[in-house]
Structure 1
Amino acid sequence: MHEREYCDSHLSAYEKCLTVMSTMDSPWYVVPADSEKNALLVLSQIIGDTSATGNWLLSALNSEMHSGHGDGTAPGLVDS
């Protein structure tokens, strides 16, 4: 296949992207998706580990609410 010639460069770009974008304040996780059960297990482990280190979900929701329109609607939502 012609596309396989680009596999190494695509993997390199993927790794560079994750390295640059993932920070201590905003980590990225790679979750295998070949098995839904395994993916859910990995996600539950990540959520359990990160919630044990602080209330990240409450902080994220709080931040999202404060960046809204001031009228209780979420950012990006437009009335029809």
Structure 2
Amino acid sequence: MYINARLPELASITVSSLEDLEDFQNVIDEFTGEVLYVEDKRSPDFNGDRETMEYQGLDPDVRGPFVFGSGGSMIRPA
């Protein structure tokens, strides 16, 4: 839905597996089967403050340089 909302000209999207759409991956010990840690598969943040923003309850994936809802295509300064 996210990609279709951003690019409405796309009719369909096919991925090789549903795991490709997940943001996190469990790293499992092959001998015991327990989860060792959870790996973040998202791309790194451009200025490195993803953890700080998530701690503050903000979603860093929705921010960007463009101001939406202001009636124009203004660029937001950093």
Q: TM-score range by the shorter chain?
A: under 0.3
Larger helix proportion of the pair: 1
Higher relative contact order (CA 8 A, sep 6+): 2
Q: Which structure has the highest strand share of the two?
A: 2
Give the TM-score normalised by structure 1.
0.25
